[in-house]
Structure 1
């Protein structure tokens, strides 16, 4: 459906009993969003202020937390507005932009975790070569690649979707994800194949790299003294927990879209 300005509005049909529990939903989500922003911003601020924390490991942690803030901001503000609105809708261009940010930042998360895994690998397994390998220039290049590589790849299907004709105007979700392709009058096999390739590039390959890197770390530390094993456990296990969390999120997102589940 379009209005006089030719703006196409998409109804977000994934909200459950939103009119009954809108204030409860709003309070809970607002509290979560505030905690995410405040906690991550505090740690980023501490890393920024203290020059002793300007090592690659802490820079990657700050980048990961910044990405988390951006990622949350892609979803939460619109969600909060929808809880207080009579109609849960979004214009198609903004929907595409939200979808672009959602998957770009999601891909960046995995690449940043890969960078952290590589940093830990060099630190623990090649400590003498660490200053030479992990220079400031290297860190900057890695960070730029982590954010730009997913964005460039996600931009292609999003740009093509902007020109697609819509026959359905109800999105089965509470925010814009790959379900937008279900709105198109004609499904594109090329876009589906490209989507799988992008998924492999920004998710599967980084996950395999992280698992391979941590396996090498654990094998080397297993043969080392207790102090080295303790250092590896303290730095690697939190990364693996974050990886597990995001891997679950991506798996859930893919299953929901592919199975067209409610």
Structure 2
């Protein structure tokens, strides 16, 4: 079969007039450039200022880099499609897009888990923080975040690449593993088992974060300083986790269990949230609300009493 796949444009919402597609292109380009710029600003700021070489900021720097990777797995192909009115992608490029996308997803969960662990120690065990969060420990956590995420993605990519395809139409504006697996004409039981293993693994990470927040909330009520720490770093962290998890779960459940084509354009818009919203919002709610960074950049989006 042909080694090219195409978006089913009659159900993705891309088959619009030239004027509308140009408007979509302009908004998508501005969104992508703004996303990259705000994340790069935080990365450069953290890298150049030695006072920000603390574990929480190093983890934030890693998170911002991951946001750029996530946005870059989605926007360039979308911009190309809107500009050229061509909705075709090679199978190799589709696998490449999936690899970057899922590396971003898994790294996002792991990064949020690591950041929750850091905040747990900082608030619940402040006297032991320096002893527990050493430079060696930070390095190990960073390596775990990236290596584990890439390994998870690589296993899934190998399992998907081995499947022969009997179809070529993807009812989405970006490649996802399940949509490609559904095109296969051979047994995909192993892929399904691995997918459910990944879902269980990262739901477990979410559960661990929630458990840590029970302890954080208990600690936050003890003093005004702990409440300030919680409001500045933990509450935005929890909000982003919930938004990311909900949008990702919607995409997963809809892809697997919805066979209809009704409101596919809306589905694609909602499904793409995890590739658009967190990369744009995270550097704001994590970086610009932290006093050390907002003081350097001159940006302030929350009142000082937080």
Deviations 1:217-240 (A, max 9, x none): 111222x12232222222201111
Q: Secondary structure at the match of 1:18?
A: coil
Structure 2 portions without partners, runs of 5+: 265-306
- Write the mapping of 1:234-245 to structure 2, written as runs, cut at 5 A: 234-245=232-243
| Count of equivalent residues | 255
The answer to whether the aligner puts 1:18 opposite 2:15 as a matched pair is yes
Is the alpha carbon distance of 1:83 and 1:206 closer, same or farther for their aligned partners in structure 2, counting shifts above 3 Å? Answer: same
The answer to whether the aligner puts 1:109 opposite 2:104 as a matched pair is no
Deviations 1:69-121 (A, max 9, x none): 11100111111001112320111111011112111111100110111111011
Q: Secondary structure at the match of 1:128?
A: helix
Q: Secondary structure at the match of 2:6?
A: strand
TM-score, structure 1 as length reference: 0.93
The aligned counterpart of 2:70 is 71
Native 8 Å contact 2:5 2:169 kept in 1: yes
Q: Distance in 1 between matches of 2:164 and 2:184?
A: 6
Native 8 Å contact 1:105 1:147 kept in 2: no
Q: Distance in 2 between matches of 1:112 and 1:58?
A: 12
The aligned counterpart of 1:5 is none
The answer to whether the aligner puts 1:185 opposite 2:185 as a matched pair is yes
Which stretch has the larger CA shift, 227-236 or 113-122? Answer: 227-236
Native 8 Å contact 1:157 1:191 kept in 2: yes
Q: Distance in 2 between matches of 1:175 and 1:208?
A: 29
Deviations 1:50-79 (A, max 9, x none): 100000011111111110011100111111
Moved over 6 A (4+): none
Q: Distance in 1 between matches of 2:208 and 2:104?
A: 19
Deviation at 1:17, TM superposition (A): 4.3
- Write the mapping of 1:1-262 to structure 2, written as runs, cut at 5 A: 1-2=1-2, 8-13=3-8, 14-20=11-17, 21-178=20-177, 179-201=179-201, 203-222=202-221, 224-260=222-258, 261=260, 262=264
TM-score, structure 2 as length reference: 0.80
Structure 1 portions without partners, runs of 5+: 3-7
Which stretch has the larger CA shift, 50-59 or 146-155? Answer: 146-155
Q: Distance in 2 between matches of 1:257 and 1:248?
A: 14
RMSD: 1.4
Is the alpha carbon distance of 1:17 and 1:104 closer, same or farther for their aligned partners in structure 2, counting shifts above 3 Å? Answer: closer
Native 8 Å contact 2:163 2:181 kept in 1: no
Q: Distance in 2 between matches of 1:81 and 1:209?
A: 40
Deviations 1:154-182 (A, max 9, x none): 21231122222111100110010121111
Which stretch has the larger CA shift, 11-20 or 27-36? Answer: 11-20
Native 8 Å contact 1:98 1:176 kept in 2: yes
Q: Distance in 2 between matches of 1:18 and 1:148?
A: 39
Q: Distance in 2 between matches of 1:17 and 1:117?
A: 39
Native 8 Å contact 2:4 2:90 kept in 1: yes
Deviation at 1:19, TM superposition (A): 4.1
Native 8 Å contact 2:46 2:57 kept in 1: yes
